[in-house]
Amino acid sequence: MTKSIAQKQQGPVGKTEDPFLWLEDRTGKEALDWVHRQNEATTGELQGDPSYQAYFQTALDLMTAEDNIAVGSALNGHVYNFWQDKTNVLGLWRRTTVASYKTEKPDWETIIDFDSLSAKEGVKWVFSGASRLYPDFSRCLLSLSPDGGDASEMREFDIETKSFVEGGFLAPASKSGFNWLDKDTVIVSAAFEEDEKTQSGYPRVVKLWQRGTRLEDATPIFEAQKQDLAAGGSLEFDGDKRHLFLTRTLDFFASHSFLRLPSGENRRIPLPDDITDTMLFRDQLVFGVRSPWTAPDGTLCRPDGLYSLDFARWIETNALGPVETVLEPADRVSIAGVARTQDRLFINLMDNVRGKVVACDRSGSGWSLEPVALPENGNVGISHAERFGSSVSFSFTDFLTPSSIIWSDDNAATLTTVKSQPARFDASSLVSEQFEARSKDGTEIPYFVVRRRDQNGPVPTLLYGYGGFEVPLLPGYAGVRGRLWLEKGNAYVQANIRGGGEFGPNWHQAALKSNRQNAFDDFIAVAQDLVKRGIATPATLGIQGGSNGGLLTGVSLTQHPELFGAVIIDVPLLDMLRYTELPPGASWMAEYGDPAKPEEAEWLAAYSPYQHVEADAAYPPVLLTTSTADDRVHPGHARKMAGRLQAVGHTKTLFFEETEGGHGGRGDRRPQAAQAAMKYVFLQRALNGTA
């Protein structure tokens, strides 16, 4: 980037400085006309490839296969599951008994057929979840997205009659949240009117809504500040005790939690702003911390450890008592999550990016821990834990092992594998390995490589990364990737760069805000290490990332175009000097910084890909994708980047925008299969030198 451009764009880009600002108009006619022209050119090139149709059919067949695992969670004697296949395009919300679920062919009872509902109402409804009413769980507050985005409509639904409740709770599409307080009262985290929203567009006010009254007359009980990320409320159960928690989320990594007392007081729980992994269990409030904290009793709480305090005592006395250690921190071991059944607490750990689970019991003498006897050296997760019962299930997978579900009805005392996905590709000739690359500052960065065991020279290689928001990238089986990439002799690489959650808060914080370049340097180090090991050459190395990972691949393109033969940038952030102007971008300032502040704008400007596009750079072929319905990362980022690349002469830039599906591509599997097929066609052409 020339000095003059850098100086011009230290602050938010104005209309006179940004010739593609008009592409930020999500549904404007001029912008959508441009999108349609781009889509026509991209589909003409990629879907016109002789291999596309077979790729598409393979992807669709695998995504909608009847023998895919029906992942479910148990509640009150039933296992609930959301299911999509070729016939049920928008999906079924269904249930079966626990006993039936364990059989090879469960007897499913359909609760809602979303294809039928959509045909009846003329809206392509996408299921966004349901809050069910304790204790029989037959009533629920059903969330329905009209386009696959985050904004959803809420309707009260009766599972037993399989019908919407006439005159029941009903709210228009928004980013509001809904939870039951009791059968006649709903906790509403409201984001309907502008004064109810934070600057990020999320709920700012929590209200109690009584049955039979208007939503606009609901009683406010809690508020966050306009500059906060969000406010929320939920009912938490601990045995026969119920607690109404209210949360003021300051940003992605800091919050204040309150307990609403019978008196109507909202009493703040006196813990650090950066607590994480909170869980109520047998009168204990279990928590972790993102930075070291010394409790009032002198206990040092450290990141990647787990601690507890006597919550019942705090309610009674308003004073924190002794803090106990549940789990001591360990090197390269981080907490992936916590869950509980009625009588047992489970901690999901990552040990050098491999999963394990520890079960915790609580007695008068304190905490006792024991490992759950699950498979090793793969990705182990907690699929469900029944809060009001004793069932718990776990998932196991790795890059070459199809997913399985391991079930227990007795708090993990006995375990049975009840579901195993059939193999989707021939892995007999493949090997999964873990290597390390040395980053620019000397930090060792682990990464996984999946390739042919007998590989003896560079092959087309896809390197995938994310590196943000404490999100870890873990080993996982992917049938589409196996069939369309690995079976063809290609290699797949997954980088565990800083910014992610692979090694706990410190790993994330090492790439936060002004340290963001560390994540980019880590990714580049992995790319260079792949070349050094002879796995790939720059010409045969492609990269892919989505959302924050799209920022990663966008930066990699502009900083080191010489290292790559193809770049895929999915649903990305790319204009980091205007990202806070594109809702809900302001919610990520704790991760990236605030471009309205000169010091922070300076570090954002140093890497923001949109501002660093150069006419004379030798960029490899680029494919950018986004969605008109994406209300999490604005499609303007990808549109503008494509527009700028093409305008300065980079003719091998392709752009594709889906018109529905939101940020995660929810809804109809056919567009998802089409995108997957186009991306693999793009990679094969670019990395084999035929693009």
What tokens appear for 383 in the block?
A: 């699929």
Q: How many CB atoms lie within 10 A of CB 579?
A: 25
User: Taking Cα atoms as reference points, which of 546, 555, 547 lies closest to residue 519?
Assistant: 555
Q: How many CB atoms lie within 10 A of CB 9?
A: 24
Catalytic residue among 384, 634, 637, 663: 663
User: Taking Cα atoms as reference points, which of 286, 353, 639, 379 lies closest to residue 503?
Assistant: 353
What is the C-alpha separation between 665 and 591, in angstroms, rounded?
Answer: 24
What tokens appear for 504 in the block?
A: 């706990």
Catalytic residue among 547, 556, 608, 627: 547
What tokens appear for 233 in the block?
A: 């409320």
Characterize the bridge pairing of strands 139-145 and 126-132: antiparallel
User: Taking Cα atoms as reference points, which of 315, 289, 317, 313 lies closest to residue 301?
Assistant: 289
What tokens appear for 423 in the block?
A: 């193999």
Helix (H) or strand (E) holding 504: none
What is the C-alpha separation between 681 and 360, in angstroms, rounded?
Answer: 48
What does the DSSP assignment read for 417-476? EEEEPPP-S--TTEEEEEEEEE-TTS-EEEEEEEEETT--S---EEEE----TTPPP---
Q: Is the N-terminal amide bond of 272 cis, ω within 30° of 0?
A: no
Beta bridge partners of 339: 346
Sign of CA dihedral 195, 199, 201, 206: negative
Sign of CA dihedral 683, 684, 689, 691: negative
Is 384 among the catalytic positions?
Answer: no
What is the C-alpha separation between 307 and 324, in angstroms, rounded?
Answer: 6
Cα 445 versus chain centre, distance: 22
Largest CA distance in the chain: 72
What tokens appear for 636 in the block?
A: 């303007």
Is 256 among the catalytic positions?
Answer: no
CA distances from 430 to 17, 108, 488, 572 (A): 51, 37, 11, 31
Q: Which residue has the tokens 């050098």?
A: 352
8 A C-beta contact, residue 49 and residue 681: yes
What is the C-alpha separation between 651 and 589, in angstroms, rounded?
Answer: 34
What is the C-alpha separation between 282 and 310, in angstroms, rounded?
Answer: 9
CA distances from 637 to 535, 575, 624 (A): 32, 6, 10
The residues annotated as belonging to the active site are 547, 663
